[in-house]
Structure 1
Amino acid sequence: MSELLSTEILARLQFAITIMFHYLFPPLSIGLGLILVITEGIYLKTKNPIYEKITKFWVKIFAANFAMGVATGLVMEFQFGTNWATYSRFVGDIFGSALAAEGIFAFFLESGFLAILVFGWDRVTPKVHFFSTLMVCLGSMFSAVWIIIANAWMQTPAGYHIVGEGMHAKAIIDDFWAMVFNPSSMRMLLHAIIGCWLMGAFFVMSISAWYILKKQHLEVAKKSFTIGLVLAFISSIAAASSGHLLAERVAETQPAKMAAMEGHFITGTGGAPLYLFGIPNSEKQTVEYGIKIPGGLSFLLHWNFTTPVKGLDQFKPEDRPPVGITFQMYHIMVTLGMYMLFITSVSLILLKRKKLFESKLMMKIYCFSVIVPVIANQAGWIATETGRQPWIVYGLMRTPEGLSKSVKANEILASIIMFTLIYILLFLVWVFVIHNKVKHGPDEIFPNKKRKFIEENNV
């Protein structure tokens, strides 16, 4: 039993390490992809060569990040067959269709047009190049679509039936579209994509703020920062709205997860409080040192301060998620989301007053704020996945049941050490490449293009 437990913990730890490392890169690609569509779209409309310069610069960053996302994603999928063979057998029909759709509709679309995006500037017409940029952007989002559909099915299974028993049981698709549009998929997808846009926007603003502080490439930096700021502000509002919609669905379909996220232990007969922060104590069934809004959780979920919300006391102890980590990760995500909304709102006011780029304090804040959406995205997914426990497929298969029967704890530990060292090396390479591209900065505009634009527009 102890060996099984240690094997389970190590297998889960390895998956957490690989997927959290991988998830540093695809969200950034999705966010940068949208930025590229915006900047190149402005260039196509205005013919202002500065936007061509901006787009070409961020394309270089995008390409380096895209390559890292592909490399780290392959390892993640191999674990299904090594550490989680029983689980893979159970969900193979579901995941096989979703991952095949990702390859057909997303990866080939994205990678097929990437070469034109990177190398096609002087080889195709501006409209064809913009179309390629748009396809790369859509391809990166389609990748998220099918991965999140697969994950959402684990949260709220639909459109299936079970054949076989025990280790040989399988979930077979009855209705493909019911599987795709399972109860949580679209709300999860919307919230996740918006989180990716925030990562891209804050990444662009961080590098642009650094240029502004150094008084380098000011025209590119200020225009890039402004585009990133507007996207970040809109995405911050959208993230709060989509997060609320997702929370309502979680309360309907996974009430134990919602109770764990909010530290709601006792159901009671009145409204459930909303905790701003605190430390859940599962033994005492309370949140210690907590600041709460009475009836706040009931209002958010039911628009009524007195409606009861199902607490953890309604579930068997063995069916309850780990409350501590789920609660804290959820609240970290929400807190950082509010920070992003606040800082972008203040920045838009300063921008309108033409004081933003003169504020060294704000530029320094944005240099370091690049980490904020990264932590928020990671914390949100940790809350989502730990809140699903003890189920690997909610209500159908418990996590220990999905383990491979032949893999030993020491084998997993050895692979964790090996892959951690490789990931550290890969991350250092990524930092080195991005640093060099940022240090080099945008390429200069051809003088004849700039002169022609000035003459035609009387600038």
Structure 2
Amino acid sequence: MTEFLATEILARLQFALTIMFHYLFPPLSIGLGLLLVIMEGIFIRTKNPIYEKITKFWVKIYAANFAMGVATGLVMEFQFGTNWATYSRFVGDIFGSALAAEGIFAFFLESGFLAILVFGWDRVSPKIHFLSTIMVALGSLFSAIWIVIANAWMQSPVGFHIIGEGLHRKAVIDDFWTMVFNPSSVRMLVHCVIGCWLMGAFFVMSISSYYILKKRHLEVAKKSFVIALILGFIGSVLAATSGHFLAERVSVTQPAKLAAMEGHYRTGTGGSPLYLFGIPNNKTETVDYGIKIPGGLSFLVHGNFTTPVVALDQFKKEDRPPVGITFQSYHLMIFLGIYMLTLTSFSLFLLKINKLFESKWMMKIFCVSILAPVIANQAGWVATEVGRQPWIVYGLLRTPDGLSKSVKSEQILISIIIFSIIYILLFITYIFVVNNKIKHGPDDLIQKLK
């Protein structure tokens, strides 16, 4: 029993480490992809060479990020077969369809047009190159679509039937489109993609603000910053809106998860409070040091302040998710969302009165604010995945039951150590390459523009 528990903990730790490291890069590809389309679209429309210069610079960053996303994503998928064989057998029909679609419609589309995007500036017409930029951006988006669909099915499994027994049980698709448009997929996808836009926007603003502080490449930096700032503001507003609608759906499909996110232990007979922050206490089933809005959770879920929301007391203890990490990660995501919305709103005001780029302290804030969407994206997925526990497929397969039966804890530990070393080296290389491109800047394009 102790060996099995150690195996489960290590297998979950390994997957968490690899997926969280991998997820540093796909959101940035999606966000940068949209910004590249916008920047090159402005160049096509205005014929202003500065926007060609801007696009060429950010394409270089995009290419390095794409390579890291591919390298880290391959390792993650192998774990399904090594550490989670029972789970892979159970969901193989569903995941196989979604991952195959991701490969056909996303990866090949993105990688096929990437060469034209990076190397085709002087080899194809501007319109063909712009089409390639659009295809690359769509490829990164389609990748998110199919991966989120697969994950959303784990949250809200529909459109299937079970065949086999014991270790040979598996879910088989009855209706492909019912599986695709499961109750969680659309709202999860929208919120996820908006989070990617924020990451791309704040990444561009971070580097642009660095240039502005150093008084280098000012025309490129300021125009890039403004484009990213507008996307960042729109993304911040949409993130709050889409997050609300997603939480509404979670209250229906996974009420235990929502209760854990909100630290909601007891159902009661009146309105359910909304905690702004606090420390959940499982022993007393209260939120210590919490500040709450009476009836706030009821209002968000039901539209009034009196209808109670289902709490954790309606579930057996063995069916409840871990409350502490779910609550804190969820609230961290919300806090960072408010921070990004406040920062972009105030920055638009300063831009309107021509004070933004003269404010050194604002530029310094933006230099480090790339951490906000990175952490918010990670925290959101932590809340989503931990909040699903103890189920790996909600209501159908518990997480311990999805483990491989032959893998040993020491084998997983060795692989964690090896992959950690590889990932550290990869990340150092990535930082070196990107930092070198940032320090060099778009200077190599000046001669051509002259």
Q: Bin the TM-score by the shorter chain.
A: over 0.9
* Structure 1 Cα separation of the partners of residues 282 and 2 of structure 2: 24
Partner of 2:341: 341
1:148-187 paired onto structure 2 within 5 Å? 148-187=148-187
Q: Which residue of 2 aligns with 1:276?
A: 276
| CA distance in structure 1 between the partners assigned to 2:208 and 2:303 by the alignment | 41
Residue-pair matches, total: 450
Q: In 2, are the aligned partners of 1:213 and 1:360 still within 8 Å (CA)?
A: yes
**Equivalent position of 1:287 in the other structure:** 287
In 2 relative to 1, CA 331–449 (structure 1 residues): closer, same or farther, beyond 3 Å? same
2 CA distance for matches of 1:101 and 1:422? 29
Match of 1:120 in 2: 120
Residue number in structure 1 paired with 2:193 = 193
**Shift of residue 446 of structure 1?**
5.4
* Cα distance in 2, alignment partners of residues 444 and 171 from structure 1: 55
Matched with 1:43 is: 43
Matched residue SS, 1:4: helix
CA shift in 2, pair 1:295/1:127, >3 Å: same
Q: Secondary structure of 1:388's match? A: coil
Q: Deviations over 1:428-452 (max 9, x none)?
A: 00000000000000135556856xx
What amino acid does structure 2 have at the position aligned with 1:373? P
What secondary structure does 1:305 align onto?
coil
2:271 and 2:193 map into 1 onto residues whose CA distance is: 32
Residue type of the alignment partner of 1:297: L
Matching residue's letter, 1:294: P
Look up the match of 1:74.
Answer: 74
Counterpart position of 2:52: 52
Amino acid at match of 1:77: E
Cα distance in 2 for partners of 1:178, 1:209 equals 46
Q: Distance in 2 between matches of 1:398 and 1:284?
A: 27
Cα deviation, residue 2, structure 1: 1.1
Which amino acid counterpart does residue 303 of structure 2 have in structure 1? W
**Where does residue 384 of structure 1 map in the other structure?**
384
Question: Partner residue of 1:306?
Answer: 306
Partner of residue 14, structure 2: 14
1:271–1:309 Cα contact (<8 Å) kept: yes
Alpha-carbon contact 1:53-1:443 (below 8 Å) kept: no
Identity of aligned residues (%): 78
8 Å contact 1:57–1:443 — kept in the other structure? no
Distance in 1 separating the partners of 2:252 and 2:93: 26
User: Distance in 1 between the 2:295 and 2:6 partners?
Assistant: 41
Q: Secondary structure at the match of 2:278?
A: strand
Q: Quote the residue 1:142 is aligned against.
A: 142
Q: Within 1, Cα distance between the matches of 2:212 and 2:25?
A: 25
Match of 1:315, as an amino acid? Answer: F
Partners of 1:332 and 1:425 lie apart in 2 by 29
- Kindly report the root-mean-square deviation, in angstroms, between the aligned alpha carbons of the 2 structures: 0.8
Stretches of 4+ aligned residues off by more than 2 angstroms: 443-450
Task: List per-residue Cα deviations over 1:240-284 (Å, max 9, x = no partner).
Answer: 000001000000000000000000000000011000000000110
What SS class does the counterpart of residue 276 from structure 2 fall into? strand
Match of 1:212 in 2: 212
Letter aligned with residue 119 of structure 1: F
- Decide whether aligned partners of structure 1 residues 215 and 397 sit closer, same or farther in structure 2, where only a CA change above 3 A counts: same
Q: What SS is found at the alignment partner of 2:443?
A: coil
Q: Tell me, which stretches of 5 or more residues in structure 2 are unaligned? A: none
Q: C-alpha distance in 2, partners of 1:421/1:141?
A: 30
SS in 1 for 2:171: strand
TM-score, normalised by the number of residues in structure 2: 0.99
* Long gaps (5+) in structure 1: 451-459
Please state whether the residue corresponding to 2:101 is helix, strand or coil.
Answer: helix
Using the size of structure 1 for normalisation, the TM-score is 0.97
